[in-house]
Structure 1
Amino acid sequence: MDFRVLGPVEAHKDGTRVALSGSKIHTVLAALLLARGRVVSDSRLNTLLWGWEPPATSGAQIYTYMSRLRKLLGDEVGIERRQPGYLLRAPHSTVDLLEFERLDTLGRAALRRKRFGEAGSLLTQALGHWRGTALANVTEHLADAELPQLEEARMHTLESRIEADLALGRHEQLTAELTGLVARHPLREKLRAQLMTAYYRGGRQSDALQSYYEGRSLLADQLGVDPGEDLGSTYAAVLAGRSGPGPGSTASRRPAPSAYADEDAPSMLPAQTTEFVGRGTELAALRAQLAEPAGGRGPRHLLVTGMAGVGKTALAVHAAHLSAAHYPDGCLFAELTGPDGQPRQPADVLTGLLRGLGEHVSGGQDGPAETDELLRRYRARTAGRRLLVVLDGAVNSRRLDPLLAGSPDAVVLITSRARLPQVTGARTTALAPLGDGAAFDLLAASAGRARLLAEPDAADDVLAYCGGLPLALRVTGSRLAARPYWPVARLAERLADPGSRLAELAFAGVDVAGALMPSLEQLPESGRARATLVQLADIGAESFPAQRAAACLRTREAAAEQLLEQLVDGALLDICGVDRQGRPLYRFHELVLLLARSLKDAPRQSRREPTGAR
């Protein structure tokens, strides 16, 4: 059986299209396929089929659709009733979405290894699975929920394919394609940067600059922002007479030694993790930013954000180690929160940084005057130095401000669950949970690849229960490594119960629930935020607008949106797209949803955050 969702939803058997009729039955089939072997709950099916107001006979209608699908698809495909919904099993079938993702993963890996011809071929094959707009014949409710991320994946693959073609010198063939793409996606900065590169390499420098000015104007008028890294660095490359940013340009030039180069340069960075996987795009962008020469434009601040346990610290430390050669005066590191998730006093942090710089500082200095003196010494000690300062786990800007080095020669790399808009000029790298391929690699790094491949169904279940969260994957991998006699299926069974899953995601002092709790406790009015989180848990895992949250919270839509934005700021809720009216759609990460449900009857208490949870 051949299933297709990257266009109209279709099923083909032995080369013949199966006769499916009506948007509802196409929606049911698409929902089962997009679940990737996991149960689709009755409540989610109701939402995808009828929105917020399913008919009283919805259960019977869903049962009818499932029966009809079983009859049409035949014995090769199993559709099982599995509480709280339905599960599709088709082990000998193909799904165009899965094949697209497989080829995309291989293509991106080849691109990272600079095997551009292979990358271009694989990514072209991946894009060949698209037959127009995905999910073209389903209900608007399913399209609203799933289409934005599918289209975003398609655009990323297209941009990667163009990147490979540019590296192969095919700029002349690409110019017409890129011109059309930029016209259709005028705010997509990477495409515009690629068009500028193609223009420039074709001897059309004025067209490249004109494209930049048009993009800058559109970004300012429609979004109120300046061009980002891709567009800005390409513009600088065109002005400087280079064909485009990349290895061998600004990023590859080692900085000249500073006046302090003869001193012992401090290195306070934690050891690199031996199992850093995924994050190739984010790592490359962060390294490029860290490699920029000091330009006298004032202090440079870089920010890595994301939910607890998503790997912010691991990325920041890894990028800092790889970029250390650009900072001949040393690399400093400070944790801004304690083991309990509470912010450390600025005086304590400054004391540690000064000691790393070789200063003799006595303890117990926690008053305002003492803090001011420590700050004066810190700024004097860092002035004129090419330093990289990594500040891990910032909670708010008020406590962070005294720690930001004022020298234009220093770069401050900050990790935080919050976006910290008050940090002037910060360029932000936002981390999402890992995709399936990277999640498997991270789990395999601890548990062993052969062991997972020997039980693929159980391994898929474990990955699904971890929701792509690196901290959860490290916990499960460590548990399997510590119990080599366990089948993977045993751990999958223990994780299967949502009511006990968070308790199972704890091992050797590392606790996923304990890592998530400070995100809630650090919010302003944390008691109200807790109540909001608990009430919203009734919505479940599907995406929802503020209007639905308002009905759940029994408040006005504007008030509900303010509460939702607070949870987004605390990395307890994601914005996953917009509806047809352009209103934001929100969604829980699966593990945050389990935490919210566990709080309904739990007493309020602080939980300890494990080391490395950030």
Structure 2
Amino acid sequence: MVLFHVLGPIEVHSRPGHRLGAGKPARVLATLLSQPNAWVTVDQLRETTWQEQDAPESAEANLKTYVWRLRRILPGFADGPRIESRPGAYRLRVGAGELDADLATDLAARARTGFADGDAGAALALVDAALRLWRGRPFAGFDPASAATVARLDELHLDLQEQRAELLVALGRAGEAVEVLRAVTTTAPLREAAWARLVGVLHLTGARPAALAAYRQARQVLTAELGVEPGPALAEAYRRAVGGVRDVTPRRELPRNVPLTGRADELETLLRAVAGPAPLVLVDGMVGVGRTAFVVHAAHRLAARCPDGQFFVRLGADLPAGPATGVRAVETGPGGPAAVLGRLLRGLGVPGPELPADLDGRSALWRSELAGQRVLLVLDDVPDGTNLAPLLPAGPGCLTLVTTRNRNWHPDAATRVSLPPLDSGAAAALFRSALGDRAGDIDPAAVAAVVGYCGGLPAALRDAAARLRTRPRWTADRLVEELDDDPCLVLSDTLRRSVGAVRDRLTDAELATWHALTGLPDEFGRAAAARATGLPADLAGTALETLVDRGLLEAVSVDAYRSQPLLRHLAGCTGRTERRTATACPAGASRELRPTRRRVA
């Protein structure tokens, strides 16, 4: 329950509707409330209690009397007095939810989190609840010791109104957002960010003359009061209003969303990470672990906060799309990031003749086009930071999600989310889910056998389920036998070619180490790998770490590693130094390189 109300005339609701008035005890309380749960010195209290007049010699004794009166009015605290004292200072104890200013701050933070999670409606309800707490100017009638407290609460009120306008736009209620922003610019005419939003929203509603008029008014205020020209955000909003940006429909490129299994913790980490300005999240994991499906699912959750467009680009043009997402790879071609930027800029409506020829020019134009916009950019299968850097937006309203199969690089100020293979329970749940109506036909022993072959790789589990679903006459035992005889006949081309693409980039030492895994148990140490390959321990260790970076191996401790059964099988499908993309096990592949035969009881 809110006990102290400072967002307007100070009120204490220890008794219904009780108001303190404007006496000196109220001034003491105002000063204590401006610094809740902090010690306030007698000198500070003397200064604010006797403003614009000399404090009497009895000031300290009078303060004790005022505090005594307040203690009679205020309810006690949970474990002691409401107002504590020590020599030369007093402290007002305020619990969670007892001060309306603290409640408003909490509601604003929860609204930002809700918007980041994609629930603009719930976020708007929280913002409206926070705004209803205001009954006037904070600490109305009093000047607390800390002027910064009132300034902070005034700023919070304006931030909430701008946040409300942003949410209204996201919900398709741009007309209401205009009224909110007009109120903000009237109250705080030097608030340039609000002017930029107002010009942008007016342009969005088709009110181009009103948008230009708002810009002229903002510029006049800024030059007259501050002697400065409009900053980048306001200038960009004006450029759009006068037609500097083509009138195109925002892109909605996200692939089909699919449910996730066993990724709740990783998804929560990603959603928390995007609450900051211009967030960048990098998702990595083993081959087949489901990076793309995970990021696409998260992008759908976050799409509402990026109404100006959602782009999806696959940089790994040598890899086909997986069936789980229906993604079609965008062939970036020899131009690399320059070709990707050309495609993105054309998506924003930039005509081909206006595209700069060089990478730096396209990157600069891309950042300029996105200034003041809220765009979601998903970059799938980015090989390294060199390819990523030119594609990153710079605007605070943009969000970038990146997947990579290489773990040996990290962009500045990025949050990294690593996807481990699913545990056995989640893997079994995913396999049963992918079976659909056939899930009831397969017994737990067969599920365990399939999971044993596929490990925790969602791509392999989906392939196995698809194999069974498309062969209605097969039993689960038959599927297990197929996996036992030759997993490559069950796996889709996508997973095998993904592994092949990674393999083709390995050095001879790395390739030899990877092939040696076929003769090792699921978990092994560096010394065992060195013995199996005949390499010196240091070279074997370096090769193992590279296999971890390339997504072919897990590091479970400083000197221990884990390999997935299917990846070990694929390692043995080609000769020790042969480099090619396998489409099936070659006829001459050694039976010793295949997984140990398992049967369902």
TM-score by length of 2: 0.53
Shift of 1:325: 1.4
- Give the counterpart of 2:478 among 479, 486, 490: 490
Shift of 1:556: 3.3
Do the aligned residues in 1 keep the contact of 2:433 with 2:439 (CA within 8 Å)?
A: no
- Give the counterpart of 1:287 among 253, 260, 271: 271
In the alignment, is residue 475 of structure 1 matched against residue 337 of structure 2?
no
Secondary structure in 2 aligned to 1:543? Answer: strand
Shift of 1:424: 0.8
Partner of 1:59: none
Alignment partners' CA distance in 2, 1:307 and 1:402: 26
Do the aligned residues in 2 keep the contact of 1:455 with 1:489 (CA within 8 Å)?
A: no
Partner of 2:360: 372
- Aligned pair in 2 of structure 1 residues 246, 465: CA closer, same or farther (>3 Å)? farther
In the alignment, is residue 596 of structure 1 matched against residue 571 of structure 2?
yes
Letter in 1 for 2:429: D
Percent of counterpart pairs with the same letter?
32
Partner of 2:344: 353
Alignment partners' CA distance in 2, 1:327 and 1:448: 33
In the alignment, is residue 535 of structure 1 matched against residue 516 of structure 2?
yes
Query: For each residue in 1:424-444, what CA deviation from the matched residue of structure 2 results, as whole angstroms up to 9, or x when unmatched?
Result: 111111111122332233222
Query: For each residue in 1:556-613, what CA deviation from the matched residue of structure 2 results, as whole angstroms up to 9, or x when unmatched?
Result: 3333222211111111111112xxxxx431121212211222223684213589xxxx
After superposition, the CA RMSD in angstroms is 3.3
Partner of 1:514: 497
- Give the counterpart of 2:296 among 314, 317, 321: 317
Alignment partners' CA distance in 1, 2:528 and 2:104: 51
User: 1:84-483 maps to which residues of 2 (within 5 A)?
Assistant: 248=110, 250-253=112-115, 254=120, 256=166, 258=197, 260=200, 262=204, 264-273=249-258, 275-290=259-274, 292-294=275-277, 299-340=278-319, 344=333, 345-361=336-352, 369-448=357-436, 451-452=439-440, 454-483=442-471
Shift of 1:420: 4.8
Partner of 1:501: 487
Shift of 1:247: 9.4
Partner of 1:193: none
Do the aligned residues in 1 keep the contact of 2:467 with 2:490 (CA within 8 Å)?
A: no
Shift of 1:543: 2.4
In our comparison, the structure showing a higher alpha carbon Rg is 2
Shift of 1:245: 11
Alignment partners' CA distance in 2, 1:360 and 1:569: 40
Partner of 2:537: 557
Query: For each residue in 1:204-237, what CA deviation from the matched residue of structure 2 results, as whole angstroms up to 9, or x when unmatched?
Result: xxxxxxxxxxxxxxxxxxxxxxxxxxxxxxxxxx
Secondary structure in 2 aligned to 1:384? Answer: coil
Partner of 1:56: none
Partner of 1:180: none
Provide structure 2 residue ranges, at least 5 long, that are not aligned to the other structure: 1-77, 80-100, 121-162, 170-196, 205-246, 321-330, 585-601
Do the aligned residues in 2 keep the contact of 1:550 with 1:557 (CA within 8 Å)?
A: yes
Letter in 2 for 1:550: A
Q: Number of paired residues?
A: 352
Query: For each residue in 1:41-92, what CA deviation from the matched residue of structure 2 results, as whole angstroms up to 9, or x when unmatched?
Result: xxxxxxxxxxxxxxxxxxxxxxxxxxxxxxxxxxxxxxxxxxxxxxxxxxxx
- Give the counterpart of 1:571 among 526, 532, 551: 551
Letter in 2 for 1:455: D
Do the aligned residues in 2 keep the contact of 1:343 with 1:395 (CA within 8 Å)?
A: no
Letter in 1 for 2:529: A
Do the aligned residues in 1 keep the contact of 2:468 with 2:476 (CA within 8 Å)?
A: yes
Query: For each residue in 1:494-513, what CA deviation from the matched residue of structure 2 results, as whole angstroms up to 9, or x when unmatched?
Result: 1123xx2123223xxx4422
- Aligned pair in 2 of structure 1 residues 605, 454: CA closer, same or farther (>3 Å)? closer
Do the aligned residues in 2 keep the contact of 1:459 with 1:489 (CA within 8 Å)?
A: no
Provide structure 1 residue ranges, at least 5 long, that are not aligned to the other structure: 1-201, 204-238, 578-582, 610-614
- Aligned pair in 2 of structure 1 residues 493, 528: CA closer, same or farther (>3 Å)? same
- Aligned pair in 2 of structure 1 residues 607, 463: CA closer, same or farther (>3 Å)? same
Do the aligned residues in 2 keep the contact of 1:543 with 1:576 (CA within 8 Å)?
A: no
Do the aligned residues in 1 keep the contact of 2:371 with 2:394 (CA within 8 Å)?
A: yes
Secondary structure in 2 aligned to 1:598? Answer: coil
Shift of 1:417: 1.1
Query: For each residue in 1:279-333, what CA deviation from the matched residue of structure 2 results, as whole angstroms up to 9, or x when unmatched?
Result: 122122212323x153xxxx43101100121111111111111111112322211
Secondary structure in 1 aligned to 2:388? Answer: helix
Do the aligned residues in 1 keep the contact of 2:314 with 2:380 (CA within 8 Å)?
A: yes
Secondary structure in 2 aligned to 1:412? Answer: strand
Shift of 1:381: 0.8
Shift of 1:408: 3.1
Alignment partners' CA distance in 2, 1:441 and 1:362: 52
Do the aligned residues in 1 keep the contact of 2:338 with 2:359 (CA within 8 Å)?
A: yes
Shift of 1:361: 2.5
Secondary structure in 1 aligned to 2:256? Answer: coil
Letter in 2 for 1:307: M
- Aligned pair in 2 of structure 1 residues 463, 528: CA closer, same or farther (>3 Å)? same
TM-score by length of 1: 0.52
- Aligned pair in 2 of structure 1 residues 604, 331: CA closer, same or farther (>3 Å)? same
Alignment partners' CA distance in 2, 1:552 and 1:242: 63
